[in-house]
Chain A
Amino acid sequence: MFDKVKEIILEQLGLDEDTVVTPETSLMNDLKADSLDAVEIIMAFEDEFDIEIPDSEAENFKNIGDIVAYIESKTA
């Protein structure tokens, strides 16, 4: 799951494959995503995993670990 999430994020942001991404990495602070990048990334997760991620949930994600945990809880 983590690898798939990472792949989607890097693709959406147009970043290099070997960009260092850990569960502690923050989209906005570390990867310099802006609020619209974040919306686009959330949409890509929704399409990929066939789930819905409401804004109210997305606002709580602090880092990529939170995203992975949320998606795992929805797809389990």
Chain B
Amino acid sequence: MKSLRSVGIIGTGSYVPERKVTNFDMEKIVDTSDEWIRTRTGIGARHFAADDETTSDMAAKAALKAMEAANVTADEIDLIIVGTLTPDMLLPSTACLVQDKIGANGSAAFDLETACSGFIYAMEVGRNFVATGMYNKVLVIGAEKLSSFLDFEDRATCVLFGDGAGAAVLGPVEDGKGILSSELGADGSKGMVLKIDAGGCKMPASEQTLKDRLHYITMDGSEVFKFAVRIMGSASLNVVEKAGLTLDDINFLVPHQANMRIISAAAKKLNLPLEKVQINLTEYGNMSAASVPVALDQAIREGKIKEGDKTVLVGFGGGLTWGACVIQW
């Protein structure tokens, strides 16, 4: 058997739409308050895409920035994986639309749906294609236009989410660098705590589903909260151990951005002060699969992640699903 290649991130990029909607703006839409949203979640604002701007538009913008940072041209891309739960259409896949928009005509392309863990899952799938030598450059993207699936009459969910996209180019790296260890997981028995009921074959769109508002995200917040606090801590610790490292080796954490209290609990498990954690939910809310790659891109561009650092990425989401990895830069 051929030995596996080391695989790492060779460039990142992100795009968040212009339209910023603050908690005060949300107060005008639903019965809520800046104070409630901030104390419960840490969210101060979110950005919503323009009406004619889609998930693939945002994904393509993030992808081009990642390719520029990686110094990779469109014809070098072998595979595009888009993690999203808010595709432009049910068919074709968002990845195919992105392929066309960035001109990566020679690549394979598919979507993957693990909700907010989408980017970490996509990275792990992409890594395996590069590790085996089947592909050299894989473009992984987390992109969402959640605003199209939010019920603006349900204050318990609509204040939490925002739109955006983040991307990374994966490629072979020096041995001992790149993704050192990872964990993916799922618990389908808890699938119903975070869902969009209608629009699939179980409940196709009908006048009734529209009337019953079944095309929007619904959530059992406290169940998701409990799951998230536990899994973010345990998955992070597992990948550190699998990499043969101790907590002292970890310099930085890039967590999914659902709730500040969930992030704090994870940081505590890793013994990291909040200065060593990338936090963007204050400005962007929860962008589902886009949260982790946007946060990662920001951390790199802000110089918070440096050569030689070891970073943990961790996320959780509907499914329920979770994923984590350790990256050596």
Contacts and interface: CB of A to CB of B under 8 A. Distances in A.
Given A39-B222, A40-B261, A55-B222, A34 B39 contact: yes
A39 B40 contact: no
What DSSP secondary structure best describes chain B's contact surface? helix
Nearest to B220: A55
B192 to A, nearest CB: 14
A36 B39 CA distance: 10
Range of interface residues on A (Cβ < 8 Å): under 10
Contacts of B24: none
Contacts, number: 19
Size bracket of the B interface = 10 to 19
B40 A36 contact: yes
A36 B223 CA distance: 11
Nearest to A46: B226
A34 B222 contact: no
B229 interface: yes
A16 to B, nearest CB: 20
Interface in A15-65: 34-36, 39-40, 43, 55
B225 to A, nearest CB: 6
Contact of A40 (B40, B223, B229): B229
A40 B223 CA distance: 11
A33 to B, nearest CB: 12
Contacts of A43: 226, 229-230
Interface string B255-275: 000000100010000000000
Nearest to A55: B222
Nearest to B259: A36
Contacts of B230: 43
9 contacts: A35-B222, A36-B222, A36-B225, A36-B261, A39-B222, A40-B261, A43-B229, A43-B230, A55-B223
